[in-house]
Amino acid sequence: MSMQMVVKNWILPPGVFLICKKLINAMTCQISIDEQKILNRNQVFKDKHKGKRCFVIGNGPSLKYQDLSLLTDELTFVVSGFWKHPIVAQWQPSYYFFADPLFFDDSEPMDKFFSDLRLRIHSTIFFVPLDGIDAINKGSLLPTDFTYYLKFAGNLVVNNLQQLEFTKTVPALQSVSQMAIMGAMYMGCTEIYLLGLDHDWLAQRGMDRHFYEGKTIENHSVAHGNLDLCSYKSDLESGLNLWKGYENILQLADTMNIKIMNATHGGFLDVFPRRKYEELFL
């Protein structure tokens, strides 16, 4: 039994427990003066690309079967290990997102990851969790002037998404792809096309697959990428929460008259209507 359940069931009356839980949640949503100064920098992106279309690109193996050279003059939002794609020699992503706290754990494998990234990504804007700012500054992982921060609080799965405001807190996510989609929405994009979001973890085991060979982070003690080390039940639960988060994003997008369409080659993500990638350039 978890400590939270012990407190709930045996120590505090139910009403007091709920009040304490709400107070704790409220504390995590609070923004300090220094944090607010950092978040205020995000205001410049509000509706920056109003009415434009964009592409949110994951790192699924399906990218190997799609011609990304078609995106040379497009607005692109990429995530995590995308710098490993050879297309970055032809075009640089418009925006680059990181969400997993492991990227900022101050470890040698992460230093190597960002060192390799900096060799290939030289013209983009980064969005990362505010919790990673110390590691980023200490290791000069990303360019200061082109790195912006988001503060997470609450939960995208259980909290209805009423609005997006990057100068305030945003709901905690299940996947960096959700962070990139919300970034595109915040910037005013009205047509968002998804690529490389295969989401096929439940259909195969072994090493997690991407368009690139090997792991996203090499030689990391935690980021092993081996699905066999996770129970299938936990993957099922994570997948369900991921889907619920996407549904909340779609619900908000509908109220904002934003179309989100999945142009991934195959895959399992069925929350969003499908479009054929190649037909977007006819």
Is 0.85 topped by the overall pTM? yes
**129: in domain:** yes
**9: in domain:** no
Domain that holds residue 180: 44-281
Could you tell me how far CA 71 lies from the centroid of its own chain?
Answer: 20
CB 54, CB 74: distance < 8 Å = yes
**39: in domain:** no
Number of domains in the chain: 1
List the CATH number of the domain containing 121. 3.90.1480
Catalogue the long-range contacts made by 171-178 (C-beta closer than 8 Å, 24 or more residues apart). 173/99, 173/245, 174/238, 174/241, 174/242, 174/245, 175/99, 175/242, 175/245, 176/79, 176/80, 176/97, 176/98, 176/99, 176/100, 177/56, 177/58, 177/79, 178/242, 178/245, 178/246, 178/249
**13: in domain:** no
> pLDDT (tens digit, 0 to 9) for every residue of the chain, 282 residues total?
444 443 334 444 544 434 444 434 444 578 999 999 999 999 999 999 999 999 999 999 999 999 999 999 999 999 999 999 999 999 999 999 999 999 999 999 999 999 999 999 999 999 999 999 999 999 999 999 999 999 999 899 887 788 899 999 999 998 999 999 999 999 999 999 999 999 988 778 777 789 998 888 888 878 767 777 778 888 889 889 999 999 999 999 999 999 999 999 999 999 999 999 999 999
DSSP-based three-state secondary structure for 113 = helix
**127: in domain:** yes
User: Rounded CA gap, 192 and 206, in Å?
Assistant: 31
What are 151-193's pLDDT values in tens digits? Answer: 999 899 887 788 899 999 999 998 999 999 999 999 999 999 9
Q: Could you tell me the two tokens for 223?
A: 């980021």
**22: in domain:** no
Q: CB count, 10 Å around CB of 60?
A: 23
**10: in domain:** no
**266: in domain:** yes
